[in-house]
Amino acid sequence: MQILVLNSGSSSIKYRLFDADRGGDTPTLTERATGTIERIGETASRTTSRIHRDGDVEELVDEQRVTDHADGFATLVATLEGAGVLTELVAIGHRVVHGGEEFVAPTVIDERVVERIRAQIPLAPLHNPANLTGIEVATALRPDVPQVAVFDTAFHATLPTRAYRYAIDDEVAQTHGIRRYGFHGTSHAYVARRAADHLGRDDLGLVTLHLGNGASAAAIDAGHSIDTSMGLSPLEGLVMGSRSGDIDPAVIFHLVRQAGMGLDEVDELLNRRSGLLGLCGDNDLRVIEERAEQGDQAAASALDVYAYRIRKYVGAYAAALGRLDAVVFTAGVGENSPTMRARVVEGLGLLGVSLAPDRNLAADVRTTPDGVVALHPDDAPVAVLAIATDEEREIATQSLTAIGA
Ligand code: ADP
């Protein structure tokens, strides 16, 4: 059987096709094809696919214009059928950013579910509409295949009240759904399970650090998320590529009242012109690390602010868990930057967290067969792991569970 995973953005569709074998308790997933359709609706689109066949990878590039998402989905199905790799599709799994309070698990999609996802749009105006479009076009073209929505927020549905509540007027909070939801749930869930497999224990107290363009931390108690750094939206928490993360809400009032900025302007400032970009003018950590190495003060300071925020969260989450068995680094920065991992861990010795410098430097998660590399000294009380995240694989696994496969 096969499962197709779709991540629909406003002008792109990313996809992955997996073969699933029914061998054991949990199906083993093997990637069969992966690809991206970019610049949908623009004059020049680009469809790239990588097809696995008998140990080889075939790369296909198509520059034909893709007019809309329906055209995009039809193109990708035609590409996969043309390559002869789409044979026994049993489900299509869709990434959906915001499930609100309603969706706490992967959900098989029907008309009512579509309406309920639509109702969450005010909570995720940038993401949910594109995710919904993906669902609609896939359902229209393949009504024969069950479609499953997998929500970024769902893994954090186990947050206790004390962690998800903002201390604001209760009626306002209830009426408008103002609470912490958390995001990157599929990634935190995936790496937490990999950590448990690697360490051979399912009762771990974990802090997982998803450090990509967006970044978030989670405190995970025996596989359940008990706190996370993103909130109502993905703006809260860690310093990100271009988002500020935690900020005094009064900064917004100040900018509106004193600096005469409009609300949309402040929104744009905090979401697109802040974080690393705001601090030093770049948002690519590789570039910033190079600049800092060459003595650039703004870059060095940006790295310091970024690492310090993460370190504070590790400390806070160790306190929330009441114990700490492992710290997990994942996503672009977490998997690939030994220097940032070292900066974060510096000063965490009081919690028993330390790195073996040679292991940290040599770690290459993408070439390690199980995608997990231990970075701590052998006698360390707390494990530090770099783990290659795989959100699409997690969406595929959860979708298969949802259809009972
Ligand atoms: P997204 O959230 O867009 O999926 P990624 O998880 O790919 O993002 O992470 C992107 C970030 O990872 C960028 O800031 C990039 O600079 C950083 N990154 C990728 N490779 C490296 C590397 N070798 N060293 C340092 N940072 C890296």
* Contact assessment for residue 400 and residue 386, using Cβ atoms and an 8 Å cutoff: no
108 bridge partner residues: 148
Placement of tokens 């199905």 in the chain: 77
Please spell the DSSP secondary structure of 280-301, one letter per residue: HS---HHHHHHHHHTT-HHHHH
The neighbour count for residue 95, using CB atoms within 10 Å, is: 22
Quick check: CB of 213 below 6 Å from ligand 1? Answer: yes
Residue 20 tokens read as 């699933």
Residue 102 tokens read as 């309603």
What is the best residue among 285, 288, 290, 330 to mutate for testing ligand 1's pocket, by most ligand atoms within 8 Å of CB?
A: 285
Quick check: CB of 333 below 6 Å from ligand 1? Answer: yes
Q: What whole-number distance in Å separates Cα of residue 4 and Cα of residue 90? A: 8
Going by their DSSP bridges, the two strands 2-8 and 89-96 should be labelled as: parallel
Question: For the chain, which residues make up each domain, given as ranges?
Answer: 2-151, 201-391
* Contact assessment for residue 224 and residue 208, using Cβ atoms and an 8 Å cutoff: no
Q: What whole-number distance in Å separates Cα of residue 99 and Cα of residue 11? A: 21
Q: Which atom of ligand 1 is nearest to the CA of 276?
A: 14
H helices of 159-231, in order, are 161-164, 170-176, 185-199
* Contact assessment for residue 40 and residue 13, using Cβ atoms and an 8 Å cutoff: yes
Largest CA distance in the chain: 64
Q: Which one is the CATH code of 201-391: 3.30.420.40, 3.20.20.450, 3.40.50.261, 3.40.50.10490?
A: 3.30.420.40
Residue 50 dihedral angles phi and psi, to the nearest 5°: -120, 120
Cβ-in-10-Å burial (0-12, 13-18, 19+) of 170 comes to exposed
Give 292 Cα–ligand 1 centroid separation in angstroms. 17
Question: Using H for helix, E for strand and C for coil, what is the string for 211-276?
Answer: ECCCEEEEEEECCEEEEECCCCCCCCCCCCCCCCCCCCCHHHHHHHHCCCCCHHHHHHHHHHCCHH
CATH 3.30.420.40 at 2-151, yes or no: yes
Give 139 Cα–ligand 1 centroid separation in angstroms. 33
Q: Is the dihedral of CA 2, 10, 99, 140 positive or negative?
A: negative
Q: What is the predicted pLDDT for the residue at 126?
A: 81
Residue 305 tokens read as 């602010």
Quick check: CB of 286 below 6 Å from ligand 1? Answer: yes
Q: What whole-number distance in Å separates Cα of residue 1 and Cα of residue 22? A: 8
Quick check: CB of 386 below 6 Å from ligand 1? Answer: no
Q: What whole-number distance in Å separates Cα of residue 356 and Cα of residue 42? A: 49
Return the residue whose CA atom lies nearest to atom 27 of ligand 1.
333
Across 259-289, b (16+ Cβ under 10 Å) vs e yields eebeeeebeebbbeebbbbbbbebbebeebb
Q: Which atom of ligand 1 is nearest to the CA of 287?
A: 16
Quick check: CB of 216 below 6 Å from ligand 1? Answer: no
Q: Which atom of ligand 1 is nearest to the CA of 389?
A: 6
Q: What whole-number distance in Å separates Cα of residue 358 and Cα of residue 338? A: 10
Quick check: CB of 275 below 6 Å from ligand 1? Answer: no
The neighbour count for residue 43, using CB atoms within 10 Å, is: 6
Q: What whole-number distance in Å separates Cα of residue 405 and Cα of residue 400? A: 5
What is the best residue among 276, 286, 288, 392 to mutate for testing ligand 1's pocket, by most ligand atoms within 8 Å of CB?
A: 286
Going by their DSSP bridges, the two strands 372-374 and 89-96 should be labelled as: unpaired
Q: What is the predicted pLDDT for the residue at 376?
A: 98
Return the residue whose CA atom lies nearest to atom 13 of ligand 1.
284
Report the first-to-last Cα separation within the chain, whole angstroms.
Answer: 9
Give 214 Cα–ligand 1 centroid separation in angstroms. 10
Catalytically annotated residues: 152
Q: Is the dihedral of CA 77, 83, 89, 93 positive or negative?
A: negative
Return the residue whose CA atom lies nearest to atom 7 of ligand 1.
332
Nearest to 372 by CA among 382, 387, 393: 387
* Contact assessment for residue 179 and residue 102, using Cβ atoms and an 8 Å cutoff: no
- State the helix-helix crossing angle for 338-345 and 297-321, rounded to 10 degrees: 60
From first to last of the 405 residues of the chain, give the pLDDT tens digit. Answer: 999 999 999 899 999 999 998 776 677 999 999 999 999 999 889 999 999 988 899 999 989 999 999 999 999 999 999 999 999 999 999 999 999 999 999 999 999 999 999 998 888 888 899 999 999 999 999 999 999 999 999 999 999 999 999 999 999 999 999 999 999 999 999 999 999 999 999 999 999 999 999 999 999 999 999 999 999 999 999 999 999 999 999 999 999 999 999 999 999 999 999 999 999 999 999 999 999 999 999 999 999 999 999 999 999 999 999 999 999 999 999 999 999 999 999 989 999 999 999 999 999 998 998 899 999 999 999 999 999 999 999 999 999 999 987
Q: What is the predicted pLDDT for the residue at 120?
A: 87
Q: What is the predicted pLDDT for the residue at 230?
A: 97
Give 335 Cα–ligand 1 centroid separation in angstroms. 8
Quick check: CB of 285 below 6 Å from ligand 1? Answer: yes
Residue 4 tokens read as 């197709």
Quick check: CB of 147 below 6 Å from ligand 1? Answer: no
**How many distinct helices (H) and strands (E) make up the chain?**
15, 14
Give 240 Cα–ligand 1 centroid separation in angstroms. 11
Residue 74 dihedral angles phi and psi, to the nearest 5°: -60, -40
Q: What whole-number distance in Å separates Cα of residue 153 and Cα of residue 147? A: 18
